[in-house]
Structure 1
Amino acid sequence: MRAFEDTRPNRIVQRLLGDRHSLPLSIVLHLVPGALIVAAYLLIGEPFVNAIGYPVLMGWAIALCLVLIPILLGLLWLGRKHNGHISLRGVLHYTDRPVPRGKLVAMVIPLIVWMTVVGFALAPMNNFFKDFFTWLPYADEGGSATAFLDGYSYSILLTTMVICLPLTGISLPLIEELYFRGFLLPRIAHLDGWAPVVSTVLFSLYHFWSPWVFVSRVIFTFPGFWLTWRKKDIRPAIGMHVGVDAILATFGTIAVALNLI
């Protein structure tokens, strides 16, 4: 019995750290975190922020932390099992930085512009698709980008934005990229040109908390994910994703601080 208990974790580690993930395994590893985030929001995040009178944005930040931080710890655990000490070596791929810094900047800036401009341009399409998801318990937060802020005092809004900025603006999207592009994408590279397509589609589906953004999310994230796969360098995806989220969170915080919204 003890031998079975000792070998089972090793089998799990070997399967997760293998060079290839089967498509069913990859689908599970992509989508289960999204389902857990929604559950964490409904069971913990939403009741907590309602009890203290804070916006739902804080509730989603809490839910994301409750799932994504353990995922990062899980990656570190895999690294410890693999390397004998806490490390992400052998766990994450596409981390050798093959793209020179100058070329990387030349890639990331257009990606940030693309994701921002296209994201705003496709907002009407998101609103159209949202009408098909009104049955979701968290789909009634308002139709505008700032509706979730309505009805709260200045101090509560500013506190929410300041707390969420380093989380939803930097740390959490960084963890997402380490997991989805550093851990999962390289292990479906055997799908060849379909790998970045599958990664983009599954990542967009993972956002169960905003399914109405699925189509536009596929469109505005695919170039960065494709470049990461093509160049075998995780930094284009990180630069695009974290860059856009950090910029939007920063401008949102400044706008609240200056009473512009």
Structure 2
Amino acid sequence: MKNSIEQLAIPSLLVNHFYVGVIITLFYIGFSPMIIHAGFPGISVLLAAEIFILAPLVFAHLKISARKQSVPIQDLILFRQRLSPKSFIAWSLFGLLACAVVYLPLYPVGLFLRENWFGWLPEWYFNPLYGTENIQLIANTFLIGIVVDGLIGPIAEELFFRGYLLPRMAFLKNWAPLVNGSLFGLYHFWQPHNFLATMAVGIVLSFVAWKTKNVYVAIVIHCTLNILGAVGGFMAASGGIVISR
């Protein structure tokens, strides 16, 4: 990686990693009661946040940064090194396996923290089925989530966190993936009980992008994970089963 790449100061890094998450969380808290009262599941608010907050803010941030530096937006995404198809597939499979290895043991920890540390939060904060008993509506919401949370959300996040921010943390050297992944996990303020799990997955994604210098591998891993989650939610909801976030 070239030394001429703009490096961000620590305060700027913290702001850039967190401000989108703060806005999403405020949107989620502010609009969920109203949406639930209207008969829609609470998780639909998060899907709306990905469409109307996450993606537009990431695009606006990159567009403003590109204008300031007088470069095309795509030139801000620095991890675009070419990989052979074999390497791309191998790193993608490694990332998927590593994410599963770190996430699965931490999922029950999140459930424990939810019950014992965050039990004071309302049920709709964690229960995607809360707000309606219409199973078909729930299933359709998860079906929409396959596109929104499976593609739009993770692509925006990876372009921003791994494609844009991570290269600008090179001054941290080998600590950069650990810091970037941890901050990415903490950015999920709407899932405080899952901080450990989201941090662990974030570190894996950052490590893969850092080692390959290719953000597209991280995008494939992230999209695959989210699509599997949305499909699982769709199948569970179709069978009347509640899956907590």
Normalising to structure 1: TM-score of the pair?
Answer: 0.80
Q: Distance in 1 between matches of 2:37 and 2:240?
A: 27
Matched positions, count = 235
Residues of 2 paired with 1:148 and 1:52: CA distance? 15
Structure 2 residue corresponding to 1:252, chosen from 227, 233, 238: 233
Backbone CA RMSD of aligned residues? 2.4
Q: Which of 119, 132, 136 matches 1:155?
A: 136
Distance 1:158 1:223, change over 3 A: closer
Higher Cα Rg, which structure:
1
Cα distance change, pair 48–62 in 1 and its aligned pair in 2 (3 A): farther
Matches within 5 A, 1:195-214: 195-214=176-195
Report matched runs for 1:183-194 at 5 Å.
Answer: 183-194=164-175
**1:224 matched residue in structure 2:** 205
Counterpart CA distance in 1 for 2:136 and 2:177 is: 42
Residues 260/133 of structure 1: CA separation in 2 closer, same or farther (3 Å cut): closer
Q: Which amino acid aligns with 2:96?
A: I
Aligned to 1:5: none
Instruction: Report the 3-state secondary structure (helix = DSSP H, G, I; strand = E; otherwise coil) of the residue aligned with 1:55.
Output: coil
Distance 1:260 1:116, change over 3 A: farther
Inter-partner Cα distance in structure 2 for 1:110 and 1:116: 10
Shift of 1:64: 3.0
For 2:46, the aligned partner's letter is W
Contact 1:54 1:160 in 2 (8 A): no
Distance 1:60 1:89, change over 3 A: closer
Structure 1 residues 207, 241: closer, same or farther in 2, change over 3 A? same
What is the TM-score with the length of structure 2 in the denominator?
0.85
Deviation larger for 219-228 or 72-81? 72-81
Residue equivalent to 1:24: 11
- Alignment-mate amino acid for residue 62 of structure 1: A
Residue number in structure 1 paired with 2:111: 127
SS at match of 2:76: coil
Alignment of 1:91 with 2:76, yes or no, is yes
Change (3 A) 1:142 1:234: closer
Alpha-carbon deviations, 1:214-248, whole Å to 9, x = none? 12222233223112112211123212211100122
